[in-house]
Amino acid sequence: MLESRSAIAAHLAAGGHDGADGARRLRLGEASGWHLIQLGHFNGTGPALRAATRGVLGCDLPDSTRDAASHGDERLLRVASDQYWVVTADAGRAAALAAAVPADAGTVTPLSASRTRILVVGPDARAMLMKLVPIDLYPEAFPVGRFAQTGIHHVGGLLYRAAEERYEYFALRTYGATMWEAIADAALPFGYDTFVEGGPA
């Protein structure tokens, strides 16, 4: 089996950079060992998709298109009126969902190889990202658990606030290196270290 290679491996290996005051107040990294599955339904088959996936996921698909739902280590995001993302560490989840969803109820599409999951961690994460994305990231508007489809330099992506000082940016793999460069450049005044994170979603 072919193994997926990181689109930003060289950037991660290059290490971090001291900030203007010599400190490193941010950590920029990449998540590895995770899987992204997109679920979709057809006109009128939303209830059938929900019923088919409930037994595999152990919960209902979310209604909100702004707030992610959590079940164990998995994150469920409604990215469109008829599409959902499942972010998981379970390598067998896509196959289990594909087996459970009837062909006339919806689709199950593995997307892991098409995305780079960039992690931005630290007390200055919000301040840095506000230089890049055209959305309000203050806690009142973008609390923990919220996500938004936005962009950096006119390239679309999805930003998810995973914790108080942790944001995750899902970039198209084709633009993974470009997005990393933009984020790292914005992080220069704050200083940053690099890391690779594996394990649960």
- CATH code of the domain containing 43: 3.30.70.1520
Range(s) of the domain holding residue 120: 9-32+113-197
pLDDT tens digits, one per residue of 21-39? 999 999 999 999 999 999 9
pLDDT-above-90 percentage for the chain: 96
User: Residue 134 belongs to a domain with what CATH number?
Assistant: 3.30.1360.120
For residue 3, tell me if it sits in a domain: no
pLDDT of residue 15: 96
Are 107 and 117 contained in the same domain?
no
Which of 93, 112, 131 is the endpoint of a domain?
A: 112
Are 89 and 162 contained in the same domain?
no
Q: What is the DSSP letter of 189?
A: T
Are 47 and 104 contained in the same domain?
yes
Are 75 and 15 contained in the same domain?
no
Q: In total, how many domains does the chain have?
A: 2
pTM over 0.75: yes
Residue whose pair of structure tokens reads 């087996």 in the numeric block:
99
CA angle at 32 for the pair 9 and 142, rounded to the nearest 5°: 105
E strand map for the chain: 26-31, 35-41, 69-71, 74-80, 83-88, 106-110, 115-121, 147-152, 155-163, 166-172, 192-197
For residue 1, tell me if it sits in a domain: no
- In this predicted structure, the answer to whether residue 2 has a pLDDT above a threshold of 60 is no
Are 43 and 106 contained in the same domain?
yes
User: Which of the four pLDDT bands, split at 50, 70 and 90, describes residue 1?
Assistant: very low
Q: Is the dihedral of CA 84, 53, 33, 38 positive or negative?
A: negative
The CA distance from 123 to 98, in Å, is 40
Are 143 and 179 contained in the same domain?
yes
Are 93 and 118 contained in the same domain?
no
User: Which of the four pLDDT bands, split at 50, 70 and 90, describes residue 109?
Assistant: very high
- In this predicted structure, the answer to whether residue 51 has a pLDDT above a threshold of 80 is yes
User: Which of the four pLDDT bands, split at 50, 70 and 90, describes residue 4?
Assistant: confident
Measuring CA to CA, how many Å separate 25 from each of 51, 167, 186, 191? 45, 14, 13, 6
Q: Is the dihedral of CA 63, 107, 173, 81 positive or negative?
A: negative
